[in-house]
Amino acid sequence: MKLKIKQQILMEHLNNAIKGVSSKNLIPILNCIKFDLREEGLYLLSTDNDIAIKTFIKKEDIEAIDTLGEVVVSGRYIYDIVKKLPSTIINIEEVVDSRLYIYTETSSFYLNCNMVNDFPQIEFEDHRNPITLPQKVLKNIYNQTAFATSNQETRPVLTGINFKIQKDQMECTATDSYRLSKKIVHLNEEVLEDINVIIPTKNLSELVKMFLDDDHFVELHIFNNKIIFKFDHIVLMSSLINGTYPDTSKLIPETFKVKIKTNLHELYDAIDRASLLTNESEKNTIRFESHGQEATISSNIPEIGNVKETIFIEKEEEEDIHIAFSSKYMMDAIKSLEHEEVELLFNSEVEPIIVKNKENPNLIQLILPIRTY
């Protein structure tokens, strides 16, 4: 393998490939990036066995392709080296004793290579019927649901986001069993077969960080045991989480006894301040009480002090609500809404709270109350 390439171009692609390199030091080959130089251009590949990334630099973007070939080299070192090289043309060449020679006019690096055959074989195949979405849509799904994912490995299915697709409707759900986020997206085309998969949230996090342009599209190729995302010049493959996602369809109440409307930022700021006098060990519990067209949010730490916040609300029902919940969970839920107004829907102090916006019925946030009364 021998080529010349501009530092900026190689760096841009290494920025993506490095995201697939294992952060653990257990299996050396998984710390590597594979360079595969072909007629059509340079492929960079990385995988930690849970995620795999392929990024492609087309030959027009390469200064010179002298010898085709493959090398496998430490991802972290090649990334750091290219990052610190000046903005110039870099020569990269495989030399004797399976070493990679990376040089410019004044810098010369030799890196020991790993065996090409040791690098995992990755199949980035196409599905017959991929789903196509604007990158912005998938990024919003992530931003509006991922925070509700569990990070407890004891229930692996809850560490992912459930994508349930029937016809032209895609329902994305995340829950840690104390709260739930559900976002419904309408697809442009119907799927031929129902799909029900759980995608690891941490892999979706890496994916959306690579999205550069909200208007560009991303293709979802969904298989039984993996999902492949194709966008721009990048292919990202993620494992799927085995297991059955809990049926959450009956959790969300259809009717509510108390419906409150209020300004999103005022509610958020009041909860944010009230949360100053809560303890993480006690789930940052705050109390919320409506009194006609006013609500108070209060909390206390006995040895420190107490706080009471007042906000104006709109409420049509006579009935009032006295309830307690986690300030952190409520703030996460409120933040995910995109409008100036927020609706809080209640039935009783022991039933789920729904947080949503009237204009956007496709995003629902559910929080379980905390019993303190």
Taking CB under 8 A as the criterion, the residue among 21, 307, 324, 345 binding its own copies is 307
Question: In this structure, are strands 169-175 and 353-357 parallel, antiparallel, or unpaired?
Answer: unpaired
Which of 64/301 has CB closer to its own copies? 301
Q: Is 272 in the site for its own copies (CB under 8 A)?
A: yes
Distance CA 345, CA 354 (A): 5
Least separation in angstroms between CB 266 and its own copies: 8
Q: Smallest gap, in angstroms, from Cβ of residue 174 to its own copies?
A: 28
- Closer residue to its own copies in complex, CB, 42/271: 271
Identify the residue among 90, 199, 264, 311 touching its own copies (CB under 8 A).
Answer: 311
Contacts of 305 (CB under 8 A, 6+ apart): 277
What are the helix (H) ranges across 311-361?
327-336
| Torsions phi, psi for 321 (to 5 deg) | -125, 135
Of the candidates 4, 99, 283, 322, which one interacts with its own copies according to CB under 8 A?
99
Q: How many residues bind its own copies (CB under 8 A)?
A: 31
Residue 270 found at the interface with its own copies (CB under 8 A): yes
Nearer to its own copies, 241 or 277 (CB): 277
Q: In angstroms, how far is the first alpha carbon of the chain from the final one? A: 71
Q: CB 302: neighbour CB atoms within 10 A?
A: 7
**Residue 329 Cβ vs its own copies, minimum distance, rounded to whole Å:** 19
Please, what is the minimum distance in Å from the beta carbon of residue 251 to its own copies? Answer: 33
Q: Name the amino acid, one letter, at 7.
A: Q
Judged by CB under 8 A, does residue 304 bind its own copies?
Answer: yes
Query: Is 35 in contact with 73 (CB distance < 8 Å)?
Result: yes
State which residue, 236 or 307, has the beta carbon closest to its own copies. 307
**Cβ closest to its own copies, residue 261 vs residue 273:** 273
273 is a site residue for its own copies (CB under 8 A)? yes
- What's phi and psi for 230, nearest 5 deg? -120, 130
Which residue, 32 or 207, is less far from its own copies as judged by CB?
32
* 88 binds its own copies, rule: CB under 8 A: no
Whichever of 83 and 216 has its CB closer to its own copies, that residue is 83
What SS3 class is residue 122? coil
Site for its own copies in 101-160 (CB under 8 A): 106-112
Give DSSP secondary structure letters for 72-88.
EEEHHHHHHHHHHS-SS
Residues 35-74 that bind its own copies (CB under 8 A): 74
Query: Which contacts qualify for 225-233: CB closer than 8 Å, 24 or more apart?
Result: 227/197, 227/199, 228/124, 228/125, 228/126, 228/127, 230/130, 231/135, 233/13, 233/55, 233/56, 233/57, 233/58
Nearer of residues 266 and 341 to its own copies, judged by Cβ: 266
Site string for its own copies, 67-86 (x = CB under 8 A): -------x--x--xx--xxx
- CA nearest neighbour of 199 among 177, 222, 231: 222
- Residues in the site for its own copies, rule: CB under 8 A? 74, 77, 80-81, 84-86, 99-100, 106-112, 269-270, 272-273, 276-277, 303-311
